[in-house]
Amino acid sequence: MTAASPAKRPRVRFAPSPTGFLHVGGARTALFNWLYAKKYDGVFLLRVEDTDRARSTDESTRAIFEGLEWLGLTWDEEVVYQGANVARHYADAHRLLESGAAYRDFTPQSELERLRAEAEARGDAFKFDRTMAELSPEALSEKLANNEPYAIRFRVPEGTTEWPDLVHGRIAFPNKDIEDFIILRSDGTPVYNMAVVSDDIAMDITLVMRGDDHISNTPKQILLYRALGAAVPQFGHVPMIHGTDGKKLSKRHGATAVGDYQHQGLLPQAMLNFLALLGWSPGDDIEVMALPELIERFNVNGLHAKAAVFDTKKLEWMNGQHLASIPIDELAAIVAPLIERAGLAKVADLATRHAWFCGVLELLRIRARLTDEIVAQAGLFFTELVEFDADAVSKQWRDADATAQILEKTHARLATVDAWEPAVMEDALRKLAEELGISGGKIFQPLRVALTGLTVSPGIFDVLLYVGRERSLARIANAVSYLRQSS
């Protein structure tokens, strides 16, 4: 079943607090909102909720921007900074005060702490009693005249607050279980729920899609929307992300910052694909999807209510699938700077050998799950000589003298081939094996170690092609010298 298109152009938002890195859970929430906007020709907005000045940092804000930009989740309008809108939050809180939907609370903080402590000692949950704030007009006027500090509390009405959640279905909260909550502190700063509702109204948000840890905030926010005379947006609360042990995802499960994965050899399209499937399903068994297909298939009916599991091995597998399928020129543009960073070649030099470089990447990408693995495997195509792995030597070069003789004959035969082409070289070496009365493997496996230093590599004739005639023959000669010295 496909969700119906929204009645008006959707406006959705991602609203992180800049108090740390962009968590994978936040990135997943941003992605769901972004996909919804793209699917229904909507607007995706970014709001930085920086009202907590003590914990908000420019560094965290940059990290959030960089993480979203790496993933390609760009926003459609100017970034909204919540801290710049405190005057409006203050005004909206006082509108509620003037309408009678809220009231002043002069109760000293010390008194509230004492009452909480007493309730805790009794084993009860503390709930603010509205009668504590009830004052006669004369008492209220006196306190205002004396400039006594006060908080503003919302007057929770009787009844039930409910909404049709896009993920969980109908959710209802009895209002009697919601205490009269503070919307403006005594220092004039807004509380989270007040700031969020004021901003969402100003930004004309039509759908609030966020983690289900916010469900308890939603009835309070709905009450505020109504009291301010604003339309209540749709709500959808997506599940939490757990580690493979079933516990809430945290650093003990490994990297949780999007930026970490950016620098661990992950492709952004693979990360998007993986995040999309954390709490959402396209409705069939398909898993590997490029971004256009994710947009096409996305619908809220596929959102799950149960917790999603972040499996790093599954992420790496998915990255391998994307490595194997993206256009080779796109992969070359991603890997070339990594090759330069590893000190193997300059990006400019790779550009002059673009066809050769793409050929090397075609060999390596089917064997890799991360771009870092491609770089690690690429070294043998850039160095003049290779180091011989001890295990490879003991396994494939056990008889040093006999192996040296085979490699000498291999060198002589390859030196005389008419064309440095895989089919030509393979034919020449198979004929050599027949002449020597041995299997092809008796030539190919020692040759692999001579060329790569390892027992495992891409196809040996592809290695010969991309290492090149001169360097290949030099490596074989070097292997013969090594074996002669060993024997």
pLDDT tens by residue, 337-364: 999 999 999 999 999 999 999 999 999 9
Return the pLDDT at 3: 58
Q: Which residues 6+ apart lie within 8 Å of 341 measured at CB?
A: none
Report pTM.
0.89
Q: What is the pLDDT of residues 298-325, one digit of tens each?
A: 999 999 999 999 999 999 999 999 999 9
Upper half-sphere CA count for residue 403 (Cβ side, 13 Å): 29
Q: What is the largest CA-CA distance in the chain?
A: 114
Query: How confident is the model at residue 20, as a pLDDT?
Result: 86
pLDDT at residue 2 in the model: 47
Active site residue 127: no
**pLDDT grade for 255, boundaries at 50, 70 and 90:** low
Burial grade of 360 (CB within 10 A; 0-12, 13-18, 19 or more): buried
Range with the lowest mean pLDDT among 27-41, 107-121, 280-294, 398-412?
107-121
User: For the segment 104-159, what is each residue's pLDDT rounded down to a tens digit?
Assistant: 999 888 888 888 888 888 888 788 888 878 888 899 999 999 999 999 999 999 99
The answer for 147, left when phi > 0, alpha when psi is -120 to 50, beta otherwise, is left
Q: What is the pLDDT of residues 14-67, one digit of tens each?
A: 999 998 889 999 999 999 999 999 999 999 999 999 988 778 889 999 999 999
Q: How many residues does the chain have?
A: 487
What does the pLDDT read at residue 297? 96
Query: Mean of the pLDDT values across residues 258-266?
Result: 88
Task: Look at 37-51, 245-259, 376-390, 426-440 and tell me which has the smallest mean pLDDT.
Answer: 245-259
Q: What integer best gives the mean pLDDT of the chain? A: 94
172 pLDDT above the threshold of 90: yes
Catalytic-labelled residue, pool 8, 143, 220, 251: 251
All structural domains of the chain, each given as residue ranges with its CATH number in brackets, are: 89-184 (3.90.800.10), 330-486 (1.10.10.350)
pLDDT confidence tier of residue 254, bands split at 50, 70 and 90: low
Mean pLDDT, rounded, for 383-407? 96
Q: Which residue in the block uniquely carries the two structure tokens 């607090």?
A: 17
Residue 283 pLDDT? 85
Cα–Cα separations (whole angstroms), residue 38 to 35, 45, 323, 393 = 5, 12, 25, 56
Tokens of 376: 């690690």
Q: Which tens digits make up the pLDDT trace of 428-462?
A: 999 999 999 999 999 999 999 999 999 999 999 99
Do 279 and 218 touch, CB atoms closer than 8 A?
Answer: no
- Give the per-residue pLDDT at 5: 67
Burial of 205 (0-12, 13-18, 19+ CB in 10 A): buried
Q: Which pLDDT does position 251 carry in this prediction?
A: 65
Please give the residue that has the higher pLDDT: either 388 or 128. Answer: 388
Q: Using one digit for the tens of pLDDT, what is the confidence trace for 52-70?
A: 877 888 999 999 999 999 9
